[in-house]
Amino acid sequence: MKTTTKNKSILCVAAVLLMILIAGLLVPMTAYAADNTLRITVSQIFETSSSSTEAVFKYKLTPLESGNPMPSGSTEEGYVFTVTGNSSAEIGPINYSQPDIYSYELCQVIETEKPGFSYDKRVYTLDVYVDAELHISLIVKNRDGNKIDRIVFENGYSVSPSDPALMVDPPVRKTIIGNPYKDSMFRFRLTAQNNSNPMPDGSLNGIKEIVITGTGEKEFGKWSYDKEGVYVYTVSEVNSGEKNYTYDMTVYTITDTVKDENGQLVLSRAVTNNANQQTASLAFVNKYSVDEGKPGPITGDDIKTALFYSMFVLGGIAATGATIYLIAGKRRKKDDCHENQ
């Protein structure tokens, strides 16, 4: 008798555990009202590097058995809806009038893959359990059959960076007015309006400098962009205090406008001077001059003149010496004659 009672207790415990297990499997994805209607939330995550792209994606709920209850607006093929950007959509209400298990598939509709876009191609299976009292529980599984607690699609949009080879890189042109006796070195600086702006190789903290010796030209280098936007830079000469030079104080502005064209970033560049006039080059003119009363620079002509003058003086000295020598010689001859007499 005690054995029978013990066995009954074990069976009761097992039955309770089995009911708990079944209840755990039928836990709804989200909380629903205890009536005969179902609402399904579909979330979308949209990642993009483009500030102007707010894409709309299409989805479809398809019944796996003919006659399954469907939301209002459905067709024979299923229920189609859209989600924009980072947001969500609600499917429903779906009304159930008979206890049963109803199965559906939910996936993204990709008619044409557009350049730059990435699509979430997951397919979710939805099993709706309706009991005798028309209470509803929902089980959602992914393609691998694993149960999940929410429906999420992750889409994205990325663009190809701008092509550095297509960037117009205006050279810095240095001109010297005057006649310096030697070439001096001059520094020029490219400065980003924002330190996070892309820069050419060799830059540091939004600044790059180049050096031109005397008259000549040189480029800062090219770079690419990976985001849309407007990027501004300035180009100026660094006054390093070279003696007798007047520096060019012009400041040029480079404005790069980067736009997305079908998944490819395209750059258009404008270069303007102090007067806001567009220019094709970054021209700087320095003037070399010396104060009056002070010795000027030594030139090639000056060296030739000095050599000529030196030779002239040396020639005069030699001629004078020769003349003196001849006169002294004549005097010695006269003195010899007198002595012989």
Query: Cα dist. 28→103, 130, 197 in Å?
Result: 14, 11, 49
Place of tokens 């005969």: 36
The model's pTM: 0.61
Residue 226: per-residue pLDDT:
92
The residues, ordered by sequence, that sit 6+ positions from 39 with a Cβ below 8 Å of its Cβ are: 32, 90, 91, 92, 93, 94
| Of residues 77, 64, 196, 211, the one with CA closest to residue 141 | 64
Check residues 32 and 279 and name the one with the higher pLDDT.
279
DSSP for residue 165 = G
Q: Which class in CATH covers the domain with range 23-157?
A: mainly beta
pLDDT digits (tens, 9 = 90+) for 160-216: 999 999 999 999 999 999 999 899 999 999 999 999 999 999 999 999 999 999 999
Location of each CATH 2.60.40.3050 domain in the chain: 23-157, 164-288
The token duo for 94 is: 């779906």
**Domain 164-288 architecture:** Sandwich (2.60)
* Surface-to-core class of residue 243, CB atoms within 10 Å of its CB (0-12 exposed, 13-18 middle, 19+ buried): exposed
Residue 330: per-residue pLDDT:
52
* Surface-to-core class of residue 209, CB atoms within 10 Å of its CB (0-12 exposed, 13-18 middle, 19+ buried): middle
d(CA 261, CA 281): 28
DSSP for residue 56 = E
d(CA 134, CA 32): 12
Residue 309: per-residue pLDDT:
43
pLDDT band at 34 (very low <50, low <70, confident <90, very high): low
Check residues 300 and 144 and name the one with the higher pLDDT.
144
Query: Cα dist. 46→70, 82, 196, 201, 244 in Å?
Result: 27, 13, 24, 33, 62
Q: Judge whether residue 15 has pLDDT over 70.
A: no
